[in-house]
Amino acid sequence: MELETTRAYIRAVLTSLRESSYFEDDNQREEHLSNLLRDVLMFNRDRIHRYLNGLTAALEACIAICGTESSSNGGFETCLLFNPRF
């Protein structure tokens, strides 16, 4: 059931993107795409909310680690949560 819902949603998004090319008026096209973006964000709001919560927690932990004095080198600790490959 969830797969069918997602499939139908993606088809609707792609159809809407195709329809955006039908607008000759830039303002109408922009409004159409803005509505599409709003719909995409609303469909994914739970996932986005989880990502933001995880990011907030990671940033708070990183700030806490980076803000502590390191007695071994007299400087600040490197944030262990930072992954430059990500």
Q: How much is the pLDDT for 29? A: 93
**Total-model pTM:** 0.60
- Taking the chain (86 residues) in consecutive chunks of 10 residues, what is each chunk's mean pLDDT? 91 94 93 94 94 93 74 52 54
Task: Give me the amino acid identity at 72.
Answer: S
Q: How much is the pLDDT for 62? A: 86
Q: How much is the pLDDT for 82? A: 56
Question: What token pair was written down for 9?
Answer: 């949603």
Closest by CA to 56, choosing from 81, 84, 86, is 81
Q: How much is the pLDDT for 71? A: 43
Q: How much is the pLDDT for 37? A: 95
H-assigned helices in the chain? 2-20, 26-43, 45-66
| Spatial contact of 79 and 62, defined as CB atoms under 8 Å apart | yes
